[in-house]
Amino acid sequence: MGNHPLKSTLPQEIGLEKWVNQVAELTQPDQIVWCDGSAAEYQALSQKLVDRGTFIPLNPAKRPESFLARTDPADVARVEERTFICSAQQIDAGPTNNWMAPDEMKDLLLPLFAGAMRGRTMYVIPFSMGPVNSPLARFGVQITDSEYVVVNMHLMTRVDVAVFEQIRSGANWVATMHSVGAPNDNSVWPSNPEKYISHFPDTLEVWSFGSGYGGNALLGKKCMSLRIGSVLARREGWLAEHMLIMRMISPEGKKFHFSAAFPSACGKTNLAMLQPSIPGWKVETLGDDIAWIAQAPSGKLRAINPENGFFGVAPGTSVKTNPVAMELVAKQTIFTNVALTADGDVWWEGMSKEVPDGLTNWRGEPHDKNSGKPAAHPNGRFTSPARNCPTISSDWDDPEGVELDAIIFGGRRAKDVPLVTEASSWQHGVFLGATMASEQTAAAEGPVGEVRRDPFAMLPFTGYNMADYWRHWLSFAEREGVQLPKIFRVNWFLKNDEGQFVWPGFSENARVLRWIAERLDGKVEANETAIGNLPNLADLGVDELGLDDASKQQLLAWNKDAVVKDLESIQRYLGAFGERTPAELKIEAESRLASLSPMWEQSLTAAEAMVPLIGRLYRSNGVLLSVHGRTLINRTPIQLIKAMKYARHIDGEPLDIHHALSLIKLLDRMGLGPASIDVARMLAKQKSSGQQLNEFVREELRELAQMVSIITESERDVVLYGFGRIGRLVARILIAQDGDRRGLKLRAIVVRKGAEDDLTKRAGLLRRDSVHGMFEGTISINEERNSIIANGNEIRVIYSNDPATVDYESYGINDALLIDNTGIWRDEAGLSQHLKSKGISKVLLTAPGQGNLPNVVYGVNHSEITANSKIITAASCTTNAIVPVLKVLNDAFGVNHGHVETVHSFTNDQNLIDNYHKGDRRGRSAVLNMVITETGAAKAVAKALPVLAGKLTGNAIRVPTPDVSMAILNLDFARDVSREELNKVLMKAAQSPETRNQVDYVESPEVVSTDFVGSNRAGIVDGLATVGEGNHGVVYVWYDNENGYSHQVARIAEKMMLQERPSYPR
């Protein structure tokens, strides 16, 4: 309908009255009624429904002020396949929601709504979810043409003209529009075969068409309180949950508050109205379906029930299963799709053992009790006001809510999920909620009894990407001052081999809640297991229940193989959400699966056997083994197992550790020369070749075989000129590689002598580092030879003030590479002084060079280094961090121009306290201030990547952290890009053999700068921070400006001295 006002304007911006008029112009009702929520309004509309035949008044002697409604047989439950989340981007709706673009959906719905209310009345319902004066209350307005909806909204929400006043005073609100889609239809249950329940989270709107059923039509309930509510909660920092709220009171009068999530028909209402079987304990009801939860000033999480009534499943409810609910529905209740008795009362399956005679079924037909068909629809409902609940707490509608002590997740599982499990941490608890699985019920469409994952019982109700929802839950653990409730999982529905329930349930469920309360009080112990903490049976009081021993044992039993299978299923499930799946949940699955896997001990044995083989190949043959760039040198068995699992990120599955061991054993027997061999890629190539392992490896590595005797003494000498931050870290790298007889050997360091104990101090600084920790190995000194002994290797300490006059040959150093860490000389003339000293053949500067000296960023332009290269400069740490990323992006998308903003840790060039400094602003205290300063990194990019010459500007901010910096790349590309496209290319670069040592990639909402201390990559892209809109992108690159850069220096050093190992497989 073109650019209709309802499509092009926001209700909250144009105002309530104008929005109502726009809807009226579209739907063309006979009249408009602004509801006031009064008792008189409820009574008048109920009578109108009676007159039409929609309501059947029940026998006032049996059910005073109560009615029965029968829906169209095609309008009996939520229609999940017709429920849409219309976010601007499909990824924001996620894989669990149906999605359609907002404009596309409105274009589809506007013609359907056009004239849809002809012959009917439009009702404008002001409603509050939560007490109007609650800080957690949120307001909505529903337009509808259904009197059935209006009276149910009276019971389920707070319909109040005060909401109009709040909105007109500027309060935010959700605009909801509903029509049964049946103009001029005054039948008992008007509806439309074409149904859409559409949510617009970006504009806080709900449009529902064609259905009159509660969940589809009472838009304050699931639509606003959960789907739109979850979006609001994420934006505003709280939780909108499909949970009951209850209070349990001990015999001593101590109160415990629980919220609990169960899928429909899994006992949620029964639990909310629990009548404990154990003496002295009481339960009060606060809510049975929805909880809104926020952090209070105390740090604890407080919850309110935003609803005003109960909308429960009738079948299965009885005096035995839920006597409180039976008393609740004794009056002032609207029943839907249950049976009518001959004497004007209601009945449903489970209410009594005997089926009464003379029933009229939910379709309005005489019921044949021998037909095998139910008299009530399995999703038959009751709507009752909360005030009528006999166990309702006196403060159930306290605007401040209650502080939660525990959160409980449940479901309907016949086996392998114990009666109760305590999560070992908040993260584990979120994992339990995110991976909940329950047998399907009639409340949602789908095969009854089929098990489906229903995370947090929110699968049909989360208004945005489920993975982002999990991330939102996890984020609560990082909140300042937060005091999180404990998390538990329960399962009332365990069955034995005969299909009989093992646990009596109902009032006996109080025993489980008592154990939870006593755990919170520290009165009972729990047994730590791979699936969580389990109780001692005696603490549950099961001996009082008369259960046989087999049933008792089954209550807490779990089958190891079944749990492993379930965890593997969970891994696949989490993987379906792609890159947005929080890493924390993947880690939970991995760690618990690892501890349960029947192959774990065999894997550990294999890893232990690898350790000496990997070491021998490295020390004796110069063979560096890795798994997709993750080195296997100096790794523990557990770290080796993790490295094998890492392969799944690239190959889609973990690397078989036994296959890897077979390959490494074969390599150890071959007498190879120095090389870098990727175990994962070798095995993948061998698999695709179809050859046997022995045949493939000997063919692939033919040129390396039997080379040991040829190059036994091929170490190359290295001298460090200067021993500051970079010098000491490069020293650590070279020392760690020492013992590889094909590599670089650190022979000496050159410094200006300080105090008499200079040697001791130099050794001490190498041994201990405030940022990078202790040196891995042993450090001692030999004062007679003025040397440092590191891991048994002698490093001479030479004192000199003149780079041209040191006689290195006198120290046994020949044809050496000198790495200048001082930065004093940056041009060819200055650095050439080193070449005048005997024993030095090449020079590498750990700073940006000047003039025509090549600035090399390894991984980008290191091919400029040749055998004849005498002086090379390694650029700066920032240049090394950004150039590889820029090259990847330029190759993929073309960079037109951009700006680089560097947030850099302070350096020793700055003052600790305010003092004179020749540079602007650098005289101010480095540890107290952020300092804007200049950077040459943007201009230096052109030396390594000439294609970007003149396209970048840059600036820098020094911040009071000692290590790890960030570069923010604001770039305009040659074409439009999306965040997903940018991240896909960068993630691929982090996995590519050509760039994985320079570019790393991380996606975690928890990482901060200290997490990257010690990274050996030049830069690490923070994927969650990436922005892509139009042709503009913003990429955030972390980098350890000390260690990451030092590894780049070491790579260049190997290249200069022709010590690069060939990489395999080819």
Q: Which residues are catalytic?
A: 266
Which residues have C-beta within 8 Å of that of residue 901, sequence separation ≥ 6? 954, 955, 956, 957, 967, 968, 970
> Which residue's entry shows tokens 């650190």?
746
Please tell me whether 289 is known to bind a ligand: yes
Q: Is 508 one of the annotated binding-site residues?
A: yes
Least confident window among 367-381, 711-725, 900-914? 711-725
Among 417, 411, 423, 421, which Cα is nearest to 584's?
423
723 is in an annotated binding site: no
Q: How far apart are CA 1020 and CA 999, in angstroms?
A: 6
Q: Say how many C-beta atoms besides its own lie within 10 A of residue 778's C-beta.
A: 10
Q: At how many degrees (to 10) do helices 583-596 and 426-434 cross?
A: 90
* pLDDT score for 714: 65
Residue 140 known to bind ligand: no
Q: Virtual CA dihedral for 823, 829, 832, 834, nearest 10 degrees?
A: -50
Q: Is 213 annotated as a binding residue?
A: yes
Please indicate if the annotation marks 222 as binding a ligand: yes
Q: Which residues on neighbouring strands pair with residue 676, listed in sequence order?
A: 624, 1063
Residue 242, annotated ligand binder? yes
How far is Cα 547 from Cα 952, in angstroms, rounded to an integer? 76
Is the predicted pLDDT of residue 441 greater than 60, yes or no? no
In the chain, the amino acid numbered 566 is D
Q: pLDDT (tens digit, 9 = 90+) per residue, 36-82?
A: 999 999 999 999 999 999 999 999 999 999 999 999 999 998 888 99
pLDDT tens track for 528-575: 888 999 999 999 999 999 899 899 999 999 988 889 889 999 999 999
pLDDT for res 132:
95
**pLDDT value at 240 more than 90:** yes
What is the token pair recorded at 583? 């890493």
| 506 in a known ligand binding site | yes
379 in a labelled binding site: yes
Query: Would you place residue 444 in the very low, low, confident or very high pLDDT band (cuts 50, 70, 90)?
Result: very low
What number of other Cβ atoms are within 10 A of residue 241's Cβ? 29
Task: Say if residue 585's pLDDT is above 70.
Answer: yes
Q: How confident is the model at residue 710 (pLDDT cuts 50, 70, 90)?
A: very low
CB 488 within 8 A of CB 430: no
Over the stretch 1007-1058, which tens digit does the pLDDT of each residue have? 889 888 888 899 999 999 999 999 999 999 999 999 999 999 999 998 998 7
**Any long-range contacts for 864-870 (C-beta under 8 Å, 24+ apart)?**
865/1052, 865/1055, 865/1056, 867/1058, 869/842, 869/1056, 870/832, 870/835, 870/841, 870/842, 870/843
Indicate if the pLDDT at residue 263 is higher than 90. Answer: no
CA atoms within 13 A on the CB side of 216: 30
Parallel/antiparallel/unpaired status of strands 402-403 and 339-340: unpaired
Q: Which residues contact 843 (CB under 8 A, 6 or more apart)?
A: 817, 818, 819, 820, 831, 832, 834, 835, 870, 871, 872
The annotation status of 18 as a binding-site residue, yes or no, is no
Q: Which of 469-483, 494-508, 757-771, 1051-1065 has the lowest mean pLDDT?
A: 1051-1065
List the beta strands (DSSP E) in 629-715: 630-631, 675-678
Q: Name the residue among 38, 72, 108, 9 with its Cα closest to residue 211.
A: 72
Torsion of CA 275, 279, 284, 289, to 10 degrees: -40
Domains of the chain are 5-34+70-236 (3.40.449.10), 241-308+397-563 (3.90.228.20), 599-700 (no CATH), 716-847 (3.40.50.720), 877-1043 (3.30.360.10)
Which pLDDT score, from 0 to 100, does residue 573 have?
94
Which residues, in sequence order, are CB contacts of 1049 under 8 Å at separation 6+?
A: 726, 730, 819, 844, 846, 874
Q: What is the pLDDT of residue 707?
A: 56
For 195-222, write each residue's pLDDT tens digit: 999 999 999 999 999 999 988 999 999 9
Residue 340 confidence (pLDDT) above 70: yes
Tell me the C-alpha to C-alpha distance, in Å, between residue 557 and each of 411, 449, 496, 562: 17, 22, 11, 11
The pair of three-digit structure tokens given for residue 103, joined into one six-digit string: 């404009």
pLDDT band at 639 (very low <50, low <70, confident <90, very high): confident
Distance CA 528, CA 216 (A): 43
Distances (CA, A) of 675 to 26, 152, 620, 743: 74, 75, 12, 11
d(CA 304, CA 855): 62
Whole-number Cα distances in Å, 954 to 879, 893, 950: 11, 21, 11
**Known binder of ligand: residue 522?**
no
**CA dist., res. 999 & res. 860, Å (int):** 11
φ, ψ at 819 (rounded to 5°): -105, 110
What's the pLDDT tens digit per position in 795-845? 999 999 999 999 999 999 999 999 999 989 999 999 999 999 999 999 999
What's the chain's average pLDDT? 92
- 273-328 per-position pLDDT tens digit: 999 999 999 999 999 999 999 999 999 999 999 999 999 989 999 998 899 999 99
Instruction: Give the model's pLDDT for residue 59.
Output: 98
pLDDT band at 713 (very low <50, low <70, confident <90, very high): very low
Q: 881 and 1019 in contact (C-beta within 8 Å)?
A: yes
Q: Concatenated DSSP letters for 315-343?
A: TT--TTT-HHHHHHTTSS-EEES-EE-TT
pLDDT band at 712 (very low <50, low <70, confident <90, very high): very low
The response to whether 36 counts as a known ligand-binding position is no
Tell me the backbone φ, ψ of residue 26, rounded to 5 degrees.
Answer: -75, -50
Whole-number pLDDT of residue 591: 82
Give the pair of three-digit tokens for residue 332. 């002032």
Tens-digit pLDDT profile for residues 406-431: 999 998 888 889 999 999 999 999 99
Residue with tokens 């001029």, as numbered in its chain = 184
Q: At what angle do helices 657-669 and 693-700 cross, to 10 degrees?
A: 50
